[in-house]
Amino acid sequence: MLTAINLTKTYGKHQALSDLNLSVNKGEIFCLLGQNGAGKTTTINLFLGLIEATSGTAQINGVTVTPNSNKTTQMIAYIPEVVQLYGNLSGLENLNFFSRLAGFKYSNSELSNFLVKAGLQESAHQNKLASYSKGMRQKVGIAIALSKNADYIFMDEPISGLDPKATLEFTKICKELSNEGKAIFMATHDIFNAVNVGTKIGIMKEGKLVHTSNTDAITAEELQDLYLKTI
């Protein structure tokens, strides 16, 4: 389970995140909505151990996150908005490089299986990254996350800039991963997609989580109304 307990981050006098309390179980997809600067990335960075909490705790599977702690980083994977990969390497070579960096050594057929599971067709595996679309790069990012065999996957605006077909494919993969028992925590601006892919949604305003609900209790239209009233 992912747990935030009174999680707070301040920069000088500015509270980027105030007293966040939430939990995300395995098999759940939590979609965090909020305007620019609401505190979504700050929340993710605290769970990733990239920044230190001013007070409160972020826990992964009961283990408190501390900056650069191996204990928690082993349990998580991260897919950023723009997946940074090497343009002169193929998708397969990029996956090989990044999975080795994380301490895993896979055969080419195992690497290929991760790419296929992430939705990247086999004919593209040996092509240079420079020729990939944003959606294809995103799939290599997913494959890297899969190769880490992490139970907790964080995503920061993963569908921004994807076309509708790539978004749909991405949504399908997220649902498959949650069905396999992974927990996904996603920051997004896309209300419709949040309702579609998420099991839970949260709305953040000025560093505070001001609303949470299960997505089966709310339609996209209702969420849009609520969002506009809330922010």
Ligand X SMILES: Nc1ncnc2c1ncn2[C@@H]1O[C@H](COP(=O)(O)OP(=O)(O)OP(=O)(O)O)[C@@H](O)[C@H]1O
Judged by CB, which is closer to ligand X: 36, or 179?
A: 36
Residue 231: both structure tokens together: 């922010």
Judged by CB, which is closer to ligand X: 15, or 127?
A: 15
36 binds ligand X (CB under 6 A): yes
Task: Mark the segment that binds ligand X (CB under 6 A) among 32-40, 90-98, 144-152, 165-173.
Answer: 32-40
Task: Mark the segment that binds ligand X (CB under 6 A) among 11-19, 145-153, 162-170, 220-228.
Answer: 11-19
Judged by CB, which is closer to ligand X: 34, or 141?
A: 34
CB of 34 to ligand X, least distance (A): 5
Sole binder of ligand X in the list 8, 18, 41, 90 (CB under 6 A): 41
40 binds ligand X (CB under 6 A): yes
Sole binder of ligand X in the list 24, 38, 46, 129 (CB under 6 A): 38
37 binds ligand X (CB under 6 A): yes
39 binds ligand X (CB under 6 A): yes
Residue 42: both structure tokens together: 């700050």
Give, to the nearest 10 degrees, the angle between helix 91-101 and helix 108-117. 100
Judged by CB, which is closer to ligand X: 39, or 135?
A: 39
CB of 157 to ligand X, least distance (A): 7
Give me the residues paired with residue 204 across strands.
34, 209
Q: Are the C-beta atoms of residues 191 and 227 closer than 8 Å to each other?
A: yes
Judged by CB, which is closer to ligand X: 2, or 129?
A: 2
Judged by CB, which is closer to ligand X: 77, or 204?
A: 204
Q: How many residues bind ligand X (CB under 6 A)?
A: 11
The residues that touch ligand X, with contacts defined as CB under 6 A, are: 11, 14, 16, 34, 36-42
